[in-house]
Amino acid sequence: MGKIISEVNRVREIMGVLNEQDTEEIITGTSNKTKQKVKKVKKPTSRQMAKELKSAWKTEVFQILDNIQEGDVFGFSEAYGLQKSDKFHAILKMLQNLMCVNAKIARTVILAEDNVYDTSKLMSVAQFPMGGGHEGLINSIENNIKKLDKKFKLGRGGIKVDKKLRPIKKQLRKARGFINTLSPYINWNETEGILGFKARTTEDILLNSKNLNKIHTDCANQV
């Protein structure tokens, strides 16, 4: 092979046509131009993987809070649209959305305490006291927000989570005011035909709701 290349080089010098690289391509069928270096993708180390897993719950908490504050999770648009034509359904809509928010906030608390979401803990964390109606439901959300805020202030991300919680607190106050304003105008005698049971207060609605657990579970899983 070496003798052949030397001979070709000699001819090259005479003819002035080929260079050494071209000669090698002709003889061997290879080209340096076509040789590409394959970059090896570095696999994450066990330490990096552990770090990512350790902070994954925080990322999920931030995503849930963003989902609540950026979207109309409270359903104000629909509720405000109903307040003149159907005040009772406007309240029902607001109660349903408050339960959804309650579930999402409960999930963030579980994540903050355990660093992983355990579905079996959802209803105990999201539980609101009997007798309080919508006030009890809103108070439970506010208490869980305080727990979440406190948990982050003890570690890293306190300022970030506080910024995300502020608009949610504001929406909770709006929801409370909305229900309190409409409730006196409800003809509770007509609600049995809609609900399938007698109700005089928001407490009766929540107490007799057959979808309480399902609403919370479904909403908590909407991440």
The structural domains of the chain, with segments of one domain joined by +, span 2-34, 56-220
Q: How many whole angstroms separate alpha carbon 152 and alpha carbon 108?
A: 11
pLDDT at res. 162:
86
The whole-number average pLDDT for the span 127-155 is 90
Token pair in block for residue 94 = 């607001």
User: Measured between alpha carbons, how far is residue 188 from residues 5, 89, 104, 198, 202 in Å?
Assistant: 102, 12, 30, 8, 10
- With a pLDDT cut of 90, the percent of the chain lying above it is 53
pLDDT at res. 18:
44
* 172-215: pLDDT as tens digits: 999 999 999 999 999 999 999 999 999 999 999 999 998 899 99
What's the pTM value of the predicted model, to 2 decimals?
Answer: 0.74
User: Are the CB atoms for 111 and 62 separated by under 8 Å?
Assistant: no
* 100-138: pLDDT as tens digits: 999 999 999 999 999 999 999 999 999 998 889 999 999
pLDDT at res. 77:
86
CA atoms within 13 A on the CB side of 209: 20
Token pair in block for residue 99 = 């339960």
User: Are the CB atoms for 80 and 180 separated by under 8 Å?
Assistant: no
Question: Is it the case that residue 15 has pLDDT exceeding 80?
Answer: no
